[in-house]
Structure 1
Amino acid sequence: MNHSKLSDHTFKKGKFITPWNELMSEIGRENSWYHGRLPEYLWIALIINFYGREKGLVKCNIILNKLKEQDPTLITPKFSRILNFETEKQTKLFSFLLTVIDAQVLSPLTTIFTYSNFPVFSSKFQSNMSVDERVETINSVMEETSDHQSYLSTDVRFIIVYFVVLSGKLQMQRESMTMLLEYPTLSHEDERMRMIRPTVRSMEMLQNEIDPFDGKYLDFFWEAVSRMSDCKLFYIDMSSELPDTKEYMSRVKVILEYYTDLLISANPLDNKMLVLLGITTYSYKRLIELVEHELFYTISGRGIVRTVIEDYIMMKYLLKNESLHADIWTEYQYYGIGQYKLIVERFRLLEKELSYSHVSYEYMDSLVNEYKNKEFIDMDTTYFDKQNIRGKAMSVDEKELFDFYYDYDSAFEHGLWGAIRESSLIKCNTPSHQYHCVPDIENNQKLRNVWHDCVSVMNKTLNVLEELYGIPSHLSAGVKEYEQ
């Protein structure tokens, strides 16, 4: 299946809708191949897996015809339907199966469908296989069929479609029927199968509409199969050797010392320069945290990347819109101080003490009053200049930074599920556990290094200052050589 591009999606009410979901209702978990359909047809997969494709398909054909003969009302060969047969009917069918296949073929299923709940099936398919061997067989087959496009999965899906054809519930064009009948006669290496396999899979998906899933069966299956084996956990460690940061950080510090001296000696009351240097220094201090605490491969490291990007975009935005405001630099300062005032005023309404809070409300209050009486400071709860960071990024030609970095790092700051999955959950490689995730409480999962992105954005930030105020070339060259 070719993956759709972003441009292929339909944008409605703030949501990108996939081409598939635009044409049909979204496929629920119960109707998915691995969770909702494979449990019903695992018995078929076991037969094909045991005997091989050629013999397995032949034996399945014999069994399907008998099954159809016994219950003409069946639409699909779901195992839940078979297990709901009355006792005499089950006994007759399973006795016939044993004339076609060995008991050990379906014996692994007796670890799920035990004698206490399914006495007819369990008694018919007992074998000398140990419990461990049966569990291993189930896990092995489920692993091979976990991909709905694998050869074994497609063989099983062919059997399903073939049975629906036998039931008379599936009508198709002659060309499609010819392809379907040709399927078992061709090897998967045959070039024609490149077209036939997708056709089989698409036809099998349509069976969800005519034979709905059995929720109770699925719950029972997954609960039973998940208890059979332990988790096999694995994680991806994307870290490498710690980067050499000392020389770069020292060179950035020299540059900031140069601009600080320039501010103090030549422009001590330059509000614009103060704001730009304040923003740059804040980014620099975030990099100090990154380096001193070795946060390169952590969640916190991504928060630092996000901060330095937003700082850089804000600097460019302020400069671009300077001419449109009477004093954008003072507006920017009082916008931020207004946010502090709002927090302090909310605290004043609280009728209890926050004894161990990390927030120093009294100090915040003194900062609010630093430049003028707080009674004259408004509190703006919207975005600065009424535009969010995405809009600001686009207006200063930094949309790429937003799309490929800031938006990603914001997921970690907001605790969105993608970030949680990447950083805080590790994968279980046990098929019978549905390849579920387990909390990474040992902190084994390490993310990719953020250092080089931080250097790149910090250098962009310093370049803004260089264009405005200049700097000796040897100082600026000293940091640029660290970009990759």
Structure 2
Amino acid sequence: MGKRKLMRHIKLSDHTFKKGKFITPINSLPMMQEFEDEKSWTYGRMPEYLWIGLILKYYGREDGLRKSYGIISALHKLAPDLYTARLSLILKLDTDIQKQFYDYIVCIGAKEALAPLTIYLTASRTPVFAECFYCPEQSIDDRCEAIVQTMRDIMDHQSNEATDIRFVALYFNLLSGKVHLLKDQLDLLVAYPASKHTDEIMRMARPTVRSLEMMILTFENTDSEYLKGFWRCVSEMTECNIFTVEFPEEKRNISAYMEKLHEVFVYLSELFAATDPLDEKMNILLGIATYSYKRLKEIYEHNLFNSISGRSCVRVLIEDYIMMKYLVKNEASHDNIWRDYQLYGMGLYKLVLARHRESGVSEESHFDEKYIEALVNEFKGEEFIDMDTKYFDKQNIRLKAESVGEKNLFGLYYDYDSSFEHGLWGAIRESSLLKCNNPAHKYHCVPDIEDETRMKTVLPDCIMVMNKTLSFLNELYGIPEQLLGEVINFEIKPIVE
């Protein structure tokens, strides 16, 4: 595919934030909107101009443009009222005009170039076209391959090959005399076919061609049936070409880290029991940290670092860490914050319990009504527990992260991993769909039923957040320096593929 200069990445600061939505600069412009599919390049225009692409592919750029000039000039003479070189419109011309046009193409030796189109422009559908261009020596596979290879080059509307096609289509439109251009624009168009894509002038010529070609859309009507038929045919006639993304499998040995991590939690648990087992604050902080430890332990024991569950683990570790810092920061300004935190969580458990009592639940469900009821009523009768469905302390996790100085940790990791937790499309696309590399299938995706995708390991991030958690606990309770150091300073060596 022809190379083109990539656009710079749009910065977050370039967006307009309005009503909870980041709006891109281009979408902020008045009256700016994307083309509907039928007027887009890939779905709507490329299939119509594929015949030009086949000619350019068959002959090469220089000879192909020369041949194309003769062909579109002949078409204009035969059909002077035709504004665009869309194939669907050519196929609707009077059969005598079609025959004369096709005979010209055959006469100049371009029959083999357009023969692949007979894979879907068959005798039953387009008898005149099929009669003129069918080549029995080209097998079905040969014709499909020619179409797929050409489509691969021109699917990107800014590729050099696609721009060449758009130049030919634009030039045909200009022959009608309906469009008047500025002298600078005409000079660029004159220079275009005589210049190589590496020439400096093409840096201006290519964008000019692309912008002017879109003007044709104001003159033409789209043929929905032709487009549907094209895509249905080429997709059914060709096979999927699936490729997978496999990041290195996590095989690094972190048993020493997990052993030392266990020792740290044993120390903290014994410290709690020995110093003040009724300390509500310490009980809650160690409870949250232990929950994080158990989540990490599950991922470690089942080697889920490359999995969807691994991303869920990172999210939990981050949220737990942020909540710990938030509770400590706000304990002076929020009376009974430790008790309120517990009642908030139990209130949500009570809400689920109440719903199950009213609707019933199978005994095989992972929700055990009797056990949850015992937990809800453990220290306070449920009739005295309110059920608050808002965020704890009326602040979501993003605001909590900002208030404790962890905005980057939230923005760089939590939002990403939350997509997996909530089953949002980005996470589904990354983890559960494989890419088809067939342009005739519009590069669609297919379900990853056999679990061929291997995502990037979350091990370094898990350790990073867990170490932050331990460092925070160390500030509060003082973990022995040597014991803490063996965990914090654990070195994760790079993955060897």
Instruction: Classify the TM-score, shorter chain.
Output: over 0.9
Q: Distance in 1 between matches of 2:17 and 2:78?
A: 50
Structure 1 distance, partners of 2:166, 2:143, is 23
- TM-score normalised by length of structure 2: 0.94
Matches within 5 A, 1:30-69: 30-69=38-77
Check if 1:401 corresponds to 2:427.
no
1:390–1:399: 8 Å Cα contact kept in structure 2? yes
The answer for the alignment partner of 2:96 in structure 1 is: 88
Aligned ranges 1:101-112 → 2 under 5 Å = 101-112=109-120
Given that residues 34 and 148 in structure 1 are in contact (C-alpha distance below 8 angstroms), is that contact kept between their aligned partners in structure 2?
yes
User: Is residue 203 of structure 2 the alignment partner of residue 194 of structure 1?
Assistant: yes
Which of 460, 484, 491 is 1:476 aligned to? 484
Q: Name which of 82, 87, 98 aligns with 1:74.
A: 82
Tell me the equivalent position of 2:37. Answer: 29
Q: Does 1:331 align with 2:337?
A: no
Amino acid in the other structure paired with 1:337: M
Q: With structure 1 as the length reference, what TM-score do the two structures score?
A: 0.97
**Amino acid aligned to 1:410:** S
Deviation readout 1:236-261 (Å, 9 max, x if unpaired): 10133412121111111111111111
Matched with 2:352 is: 343
Residue in structure 1 matching 2:443, options 415, 435, 450: 435
Percent identity of equivalent pairs = 51
- Aligned pairs for 1:402-481 within 5 A: 402-481=410-489
Alpha-carbon separation, structure 2, partners of 1:38 and 1:71: 22
Question: Which residue of the partner structure matches residue 389 of structure 2?
Answer: 381
Aligned to 1:5: 11
d(CA) in 2 for partners of 1:169, 1:334: 75
The alpha-carbon deviation at position 140 of structure 1 amounts to: 0.9
State the Cα distance separating 1:7 from its structure 2 match.
2.4
The verdict on how the C-alpha distance between 1:462 and 1:239 changes in structure 2, with shifts beyond 3 A counting, is same
Partner of 1:284: 293
In structure 2, what is the Cα distance between the partners aligned to 1:32 and 1:475?
A: 62
Distance 1:18 1:101, change over 3 A: farther
Whether contact under 8 Å (1:317, 1:395) holds in the other structure is yes
Alpha-carbon offset, residue 461 of structure 1: 0.5
Contact 1:44 1:156 in 2 (8 A): yes
CA distance in 2, matches of 1:28, 1:298: 37
Matched, 1:149 2:155: no
Q: How far apart in 2 are the matches of 1:213 and 1:342?
A: 55
| 2:306 is equivalent to residue 297 of structure 1 | yes
Written as runs of structure 1 = structure 2, the 5 A alignment for 1:123-138 is 123-127=131-135, 128-138=137-147
Please list every run of 5 or more consecutive structure 2 residues that lacks an aligned counterpart in the other structure: 1-5, 493-497
Paired with 1:53 and 1:64, the residues of 2 have a C-alpha distance of 16
**1:483 CA displacement:** 5.8
Report how far residue 212 of structure 1 moved. 4.0
Report how far residue 18 of structure 1 moved: 2.4
Instruction: Summarize the Cα distance change of 1:29–1:17 in structure 2 as closer, same or farther, 3 Å threshold.
Output: farther
Greater shift in the superposed pair: 37-46 or 148-157? 148-157
**Would you say the 8 A contact 2:54–2:113 is kept in 1?**
yes
**Aligned in 2, Cα 1:73/1:294: closer, same or farther, shift over 3 Å?**
same
Following superposition, the deviation at residue 99 of structure 1 comes to 2.0
| 1:83/1:90 contact within 8 Å kept | yes
**Deviation by residue 1:50-103 (Cα, 9 ceiling, x = unmatched):** 111111111111111222222233222101111122322222221222223431
SS at match of 2:209: helix
* RMSD across aligned positions (CA): 1.5
Is 2:249–2:454's contact at 8 Å kept on the other side of the alignment? no
Distance, in Å, in 2 between the alignment partners of 1:170 and 1:344 is 71
Instruction: Write out per-residue CA displacement over residues 410-439 of structure 1, whole angstroms, 9 at most, x where no aligned residue.
Output: 111111111111111111112211111111
- Look up the equivalent residue of 2:19 and give its one-letter code: K
Q: Please point out which of 19, 22, 26 is paired with 2:25.
A: 19
SS at match of 1:324: coil
CA shift for structure 1 position 464: 0.9
Kindly state the Cα deviation for residue 125 of structure 1 after the two structures are TM-superposed: 0.1
The DSSP-based 3-state class of the residue aligned with 2:450 is: coil
Match of 1:365 in 2: 373
Q: Structure 1's 447 and 209: CA in aligned 2 closer, same or farther, altered over 3 A?
A: farther
Amino acid at match of 2:63: K
1:279 Cα deviation (Å)?
0.4
Q: Displacement, 1:147?
A: 2.2
Specify the SS of the correspondent of 1:72: coil
Q: Distance in 2 between matches of 1:42 and 1:197?
A: 19
> Contact (CA 8 Å) 1:243, 1:451: kept in 2 or not?
no
Match of 2:190 in 1: 181
Residue in 1 aligned with 2:241? 232
Contact kept, 8 Å, 1:148 with 1:154, in 2: the verdict is: yes
1:56 maps to amino acid: G
Query: How big is each residue's C-alpha offset from its partner over 1:275-310, in whole Å with a ceiling of 9 and x where there is no partner?
Result: 100000000000011011111111111111100010
